[in-house]
Amino acid sequence: MKVAVVHNRDRSGVLNVLGMQNRETYDPATITAVVDALENGGHNVALVDGNMHVIEQLRDFMPRVVAGEKPGMVFNMAYGIQGVSRYTHVPAMLEMLGVPYIGSNPQAHALALDKVVAKVLFLAEGLPTPRYWNFASRDDEFPDLAFPAVIKPKMEGMSIGISVAQNEEQLREAVAAVLREHKQHVLVEELIEGREFTVGVLGNTEVEVLPIVELDLEGDPKAIRNDEGRNPKKKICPARLPEEKAEEIHKLAAKAFRTLGLSDFSRLDLRMSSDGKPYILEINSMADLGRGGAYVLAAKAAGYSYDALINRIVDLAAVRYFGADHAGDAESAHRGSRAPTLSSRVHGYLKSQSTTIEDDLRGLVDRNTTEQNVDVASSQLSKLGFHPAQDPPVDVANVLYLVNHAESHNDVLLVANLIGSTGPSYDPYREGGNRLYGSGVAKSRGCVAVLFAALRALRFCRQLQHVRCGVLLPARPFEDQAGLEPLFAAVGGRSRRVLGVTPGDISGEVAVARAGLARFRIRIAYGRSELPLAPMDAAAAIGRLLVSLEKLEASAEGSVRIIVPQLHMTGTTHGLPARADADVIVRFRDPQRRERLEADLRKLAKAAGTDGLSFEVSGSILRPPMAKSERNTELFHELDEAAKSIHVAVSPVERWHSTEVCFVPDAIPTLDGLGPLGEARDGAEEYILRHSLVDRAALLALMIHRSGTVPSE
């Protein structure tokens, strides 16, 4: 399953700083531990900041169930950035987006976070809680105040702002401090002198109450947790309690969980008086998942490893949303019953290297010259054990062909383009949420970065040496294809399969077929004529030609597309045009058309002429089509299996856009479009999706591995 871990790190991702600022954040070590646990559980994990960019990042990463993909999940660790009821902000956005998430819904979070409202509900259900008073100002009067009293902000967690007052003067000073610092009402409650416990709850319809944890107050029945961040109390688990008392507390925890309508997991805090009566203090709807926390300690006492606990929470949410069939087997998967698969090792390695991959990409974009990128590619591949082939079948300038073996044939040939920026201007590398921009970032640079990353992942897993791999990197502009066809035919013919690392569509489609490409220029030529030519005769001839091209496309019944990107006429207002020409681009899927396409075009051009006016046709076929075949379809099925192992969605497509992979002989199984997902636009809006660098590198690595001679995993 795709799982996005949403947390709060960047607090600048807001339009304005406004209202109460949240002081609760997860320790980065805990975020890393959760991500590792989910990846060990076989999930495809992305780390997403829960700020104003969260919707864009989730839109790009999460699967779209409406398109038939398996659902994903958000592991919500976002306490919120600012404002009242900030626990509810990310869950509310997720509900609007239709994205499933672990943990409670916005209403339940709001009830739990508001300690006064929670107490009202507890009392209504007959649950014991200490006497309390709600102060809106320093001077509020309550005739039944009891001391010692605990003062705390009514909507904060982590024991923030908590203190004890022994008399009314201390109480009013503490209330004033909370009002001033936290700008919210103040909860004052009677201090229950005795012992303090915390109880974890796990589940939904049926809840599992974890072993009770006691906080060691070191013999002081009046002690409270007002310095947990700096001096945490020693934790005893399971707590030393009589069986009947432990059972009573278990029932209180389960009932409190249901009273507030919580989901998946929570932690209840309570005190027990000297006469053995328990009192509920509060319930934390987002229990801390730090390895040293009380909740994880209780889960460990219940038999859960850390990985099992985290994946169990995901399973509970999956069952709640989708039913029992969507639950995994987290416990058995994390008690050492099986070793990590190659899929998880590759994906985990690449996730850990995501910053390095992006640094590689930045370097490729910022260099912005083909020559520099060729040097970088040679250096990177050399470090991975690649070297120039000893007997290149065809020597073509500005093309790198490197292999990691000394044999004549490849198990797999990887193809990517090293061409530099070809646009009218250079756009430097920049980041925008989950999108990475820059000249060539989609067309070539991102593809090369994915190729490097995939090979490094296989080397890390000690699998690269088992695959005879060739890498073919043309550094030739679109207009200069001379010599590439014989080179690709020879090198491709020596390979068992070919994988094209070209830009992928944002929907995850992979090309099983591509159209061939031809480019022509048609120009008007004037000859002798007994009849005088009027200025409109040239325009009429051009019109006839365009109509003929339209008919040619229509007669092909979807196998030909004709584009006229430029039509140019110049001349005087009273005479014949001095120049009239048209650029014509033809894309075609039928290999048989290659032989007759130019002849058909010349025939149409001749028919469109008139006495004294004819058309000259120049140009040629630039690339043949990569025809759809049973071999390509079978290779795609293999790719689909690999994609499912890392929870990445792929689908086959026949592309009209042509690439150099079209030069590969039809007999060789070929797929194209395995580069990062994005849009290869011209100009500053060319981009790729950041998370796709890791996903596509993992997918490419698994396909390279499957191409080898050594059995997989």
Whole-number pLDDT of residue 329: 44
619: which residues sit within 8 A by CB, 6+ positions away? 518, 519, 520, 521, 584, 598
The pLDDT value recorded for residue 11 is 61
In the prediction, which pLDDT does 362 show?
Answer: 92
Same fold, 2-101 and 351-514+627-706: no
Query: In CATH, which superfamily holds the domain spanning 112-304?
Result: ATP-grasp fold, B domain (3.30.470.20)
Distance CA 10, CA 608 (A): 64
Distance CA 119, CA 121 (A): 5
Q: Residue 337's pLDDT is what?
A: 40
- Whole-angstrom Cα distance, residue 608 to residue 105? 69
Single pTM value for the model: 0.70
Count CB-CB contacts under 10 A for residue 578: 10
Tell me the pairing of strands 469-474 and 412-415. parallel
Exposure pattern of 386-411 as b/e (b: 16+ CB <10 Å)? Answer: beebeeebeebebbbbbbbbeeeebb
Distance separating alpha carbons of residues 676 and 467, to the nearest angstrom: 23
* CB 202, CB 180: distance < 8 Å: no
Quote the pLDDT of residue 645: 87
In the chain, domain spans:
2-101, 112-304, 351-514+627-706, 516-623
Q: Is the dihedral of CA 30, 32, 33, 35 positive or negative?
A: positive
Q: Which of 248, 240, 289 is nearest to 267 (CA)?
A: 289
CA dihedral 404, 405, 410, 415 (to 10 degrees): 20
The CATH class of 2-101 is: alpha beta
d(CA 459, CA 706): 14
Q: What is the mean pLDDT of each run of 10 residues along the chain (713 residues)?
A: 84 63 76 88 83 80 60 88 79 89 94 94 96 92 90 80 90 93 90 95 93 91 68 84 95 96 96 95 93 93 92 92 63 45 86 88 83 84 91 75 93 88 73 85 92 95 93 78 84 94 88 92 72 66 85 86 84 62 88 81 84 82 91 95 88 92 94 92 83 93 86 42
Amino acid 255: pLDDT: 96
- Evaluate the CA torsion angle 11, 15, 17, 20 in order and state its sign: negative
Question: What pLDDT score does 711 carry?
Answer: 43
Bridge partners (DSSP) of residue 469 are 412
d(CA 48, CA 35): 11
Q: Report the Cα–Cα distance between both ends of the chain, in Å, rounded.
A: 21
In which element (H, E) is residue 700 found?
helix 690-706
Domain 351-514+627-706 maps to which CATH number in 3.40.50.2300, 1.20.910.10, 3.40.630.10, 3.40.1280.10? 3.40.630.10
- The pLDDT of residue 532: 57
What distances in angstroms separate CA 490 from CA 392, 395, 413, 474, 495, one per listed residue?
A: 9, 11, 12, 14, 9
Burial 253-281 (b: 16+ CB within 10 A, else e): bbbbbebbebbbbbbbbbbbeeeeebbbb
Spatial contact of 523 and 569, defined as CB atoms under 8 Å apart = no
Q: What is the pLDDT of residue 114?
A: 92
Report pLDDT for 576: 60
Q: Give the span between the Cα atoms of 25 and 31, in whole angstroms.
A: 10
Q: What CATH code would you report for 516-623?
A: 3.30.70.360
Q: CA–CA distance from 507 to each of 59, 434, 510, 676, 707 (Å)?
A: 11, 15, 9, 11, 25
Burial of residue 607, with CB atoms counted within 10 A of its CB: 0-12 exposed, 13-18 middle, 19 or more buried: exposed
